[in-house]
Chain A
Amino acid sequence: MLDSLTPVITEDEAALYDRQIRLWGLDSQKRLRASSVLVCGLCGLGAEITKNLVLAGVKSITLMDHTDVTNLDVVANFLAPHDSIGKNIAEASKERAQNLNPMVQVLSDTEDLATKPGSFFGEFDVVVVARCSDKDLLIKINDYCRSSGAVFYAAGVHGMFGYMFVDLNQHNYVEEQKEFTEVVVNGEKQKTEETKMVKRNESFLQLSAALDVDWTSPKYSSRLKRISAGYFIMHVLLEFHALHHRLPAPSMREADRCELLTIKRSLLAKMEVPEDKLDDAFAELVFGQVSPVCAIVGGEVAAEVIKAVTKKDPPHNNFFFFSTLEDGAGIVQCIGA
């Protein structure tokens, strides 16, 4: 079934991808080799996701961004050269992305995500939106992806905080399960290990449902204590963008820090969530983009895209949060109505 749809892996590819084929198998590599990915938003996070998926060997990747390279971009997006400041960042990132793996088709698109019609997303198997804090737009793109059959990821890195949301709709996958049996051979007990492939299915929520939670409901009021503070940092940042049409700026650090705290108070009050759920220290941590955090979140997003495309191993459902507030731990949680 797979063989008739996907290209044969050449010996050159087998040599280049040797280590990863050992990890996820030849069939997975073929599935990757047949997949088209859209990465929207060539910030540091977008660059990390692009690097990881180009290295993994997808069929094609389209870098989409309508903005120009700034001095803030080049401290996080290592694909955009320093002398490209002022040029379109998708175009500027293309050459280095291509150099990572000549076997992948790297394309660029300089149009604004907001202007794309729903049919545009049908060209892709995977859509990753990496620099968009416009909640309504994200929800719209998520809808487009549902109707076109693409899997949808929304992710962001803000200073030392990062998150990922994923919607795989209905996802079928296989998981390896090890079974141990004891056999007696020549009077000696021997353990034999057998690996079985088990088929599973998982349902996902859309972003609109994942953002709209009634924290006074019995289900969520009891869960609140364990919910990552990252979920609320994400809400505050989306709200900041809704009010100011921009992100907190390093150059306006003090003023924006105060504004973030104001937004936090009104937002948590509206959600009926106690204020101490989110430590005020978060407002110190969400400026610009910090490369190691882009690497962590970008690593997670790319690993999740690989799982989704190869239909192997259980995917994260449906949020991943990383912040230095939570001891530098990355947390996966399923949140939504």
Chain B
Amino acid sequence: MAAHVSGIFPTSIQNSIKSSKVLVVGAGGIGCELLKNLVLSGFHDIEVIDLDTIDVSNLNRQFLFHKQHVGRSKSQVARESALQFCPQANIVAHHDSIMSPDYGVTFYQKFSVVMNALDNRAARNHVNRMCLAADITLIESGSAGYLGQVTVIRKGSTECYECQPKAAAKTFPGCTIRNTPSEPIHCIVWAKHLFNQLFGEGDPDEDVSPDSADPELRDQTQGDSTSQNGSSSQSTAKDSTTNGNGSLPAANAAGNVERTSTRTWAQSHNYDPQKLFSKLFHDDIVYLLSMDKLWSKRRKPTPLTWETIMAQQNEESEDSSDGVIKDQVLWTLPQCLQVLSTATAECSKRFQALPSGDHLVWDKDDQSSMDFVTACANIRAHVFGIPQKTRFDVKCHDSLDDGSEFRVVADAEQLKKIQDSASAETPAATAADGQAGDSDEDIQMVEADESSPSAKKRKTSNQDSDQPLKKPRTQREDDDVVLL
């Protein structure tokens, strides 16, 4: 390897490479490139850690993995493939989370340098803190689409990964998601929350049922009824949902409707897709309609019934989908119902096969999970007269990405604060394109959202304090483009 052939590197660099021990955190798009570059350069003592397994959608850029490796551990296959490039190297693979307590300060102190090739902020924060505690140099990286960036983090010399606040995640008011969606994204976020309520890690902040504590309703009775447990519109609403399907909401002191959790409800109905449909897209919608204040300036939602939609099925024309891939064809409403049936059956089967207390983990590359969310998002969009989206487009949304959650806040003031602070951030200006630094799970700009602005700030402030870092990218200066 290069450092083992004299004359390629100046001697001092050659010796440092040969004597170094390095850690690569993450064996995704960047991790695969890194491992290849490290072994070919002559680094022979390498450890790599990744908790993930290989998916077919990884293969277009995580080139150490091939079709026959799908389903296997990323770190282990990456090790095997990298060894083919350099059989003499000593590579240790950990199929594990770097955030596990097994990897403490003494683990980090074994290394000359640690390289992050991660796809989420939580793990980046963790490794950043561990490297500071262990006093080890960290090389932090990220990429999204055509963009990418690298930063060196060294205790006492540079800023760390968390020195600058990151751009806030996109946020929506809870009542927009639960009561008054107006854009496709609102329905997609709602559908993802529904998936988690039914099969995933149910988060109380991700409730999908109608929210009777909507501030718009409170304004109606401003001042006089807040202490009296609910206005008349709320009690009407309560009555209307009690008919139907046995969930018995009751307004509590805070004005919220107490309900059996969506999961318990679904379980008690054996995940029957028709009953689920009836509750979500008919009964809950009727309940929302009863909050008449919400609809005084809005288009009213239309409750749907399963039978009416299925009756439309025969009227459907054959789809002409020449020249596009299956995912890019928009589903009709009857098709959504069929997909909902199949996907609900599959997800509930898998969920019920798990030990009690365990749950499914959201993965947008999982066929049934993605089908479920697309179908539910589109049915809800139809209810509210919002344009529907193809499965391809729904999957594009970063709200569905593993590392980034959309936050839903209850309070409009809180939302405004977050939005104001987010708009104060300048867009990312670092750029380095090319396949070489292609990304992990983040082709749809997730990384750019979360890490680039801060990385730019780090660079800028490093310059101010005469740190030996790189020039910020200059925009086209006549005809020159500088890529860092």
Contact = CB atoms under 8 A, between A and B. Distances in A.
Given A302-B435, A303-B435, A19 B443 contact: yes
Given A291-B37, A331-B480, A299 B325 contact: no
A287 B59 CA distance: 33
A334 B322 CA distance: 42
Contacts of A298: 435-436
Contact of A55 (B145, B323, B435, B444): B435
A82 B10 contact: no
B443 A20 contact: yes
B7 A288 contact: yes
Nearest to B435: A52
Interface stretch (B61-69, B253-261, B374-382): B61-69
B5 A72 contact: yes
Contacts of B396: 22
B5 A250 contact: yes
Interface in A223-253: 226, 249-253
B5 A288 contact: yes
B470 A295 contact: no
Interface in A78-108: 78, 81-82, 99-102
Contacts of A26: 324-325, 328
Contact of B7 (A23, A48, A51, A250): A250
A2 to B, nearest CB: 9
Interface string B59-89: 1110100110000000000000000110100
Nearest to B82: A78
Interface residues of A, number: 65
Contacts of A20: 60-61, 443
* Most chain B beta-carbon neighbours within 10 Å: one of A100, A290, A298, A332: A290
B481 interface: yes
- Helix, strand, loop or mixed for chain A's interface? helix
Interface in A284-315: 284, 287-292, 295-296, 298-300, 302-303
A55 B37 contact: no
A317 B478 CA distance: 12
A19 B447 CA distance: 14
A159 B8 contact: yes
A213 interface: no
Given A8-B323, A292-B41, A19 B57 contact: yes
B272 interface: no
Contact of A334 (B33, B85, B435, B479): B479
B133 interface: no
A252 B5 CA distance: 12
A78 B483 contact: no
B146 A23 contact: yes
B40 A44 contact: yes
Nearest to A322: B483
A111 interface: no
A14 B7 contact: no
Interface in B133-168: 145-146
B456 interface: no
B60 A328 contact: no
Contacts of B470: 327-329
Given A75-B2, A331-B480, A332-B481, A19 B60 contact: yes
A98 B406 CA distance: 40
Contacts of A52: 434-436
Interface string B464-484: 000000110000011111111
Nearest to B87: A82
A252 B8 CA distance: 10
B143 to A, nearest CB: 11
A56 B435 contact: yes
A226 B479 CA distance: 10
A291 B483 CA distance: 19
Nearest to B57: A18
A15 interface: yes
Contacts of B481: 316, 331-332
14 contacts: A18-B57, A57-B60, A75-B8, A159-B8, A251-B6, A287-B7, A288-B8, A289-B2, A296-B434, A303-B146, A330-B483, A331-B481, A332-B480, A333-B480
Given A76-B2, A290-B2, 7 more contacts: A14-B325, A16-B60, A19-B443, A20-B443, A56-B60, A253-B6, A329-B482
* 9 tightest A-B CB contacts, nearest first: A250-B7, A299-B436, A299-B434, A291-B40, A288-B8, A330-B483, A332-B481, A52-B435, A14-B325
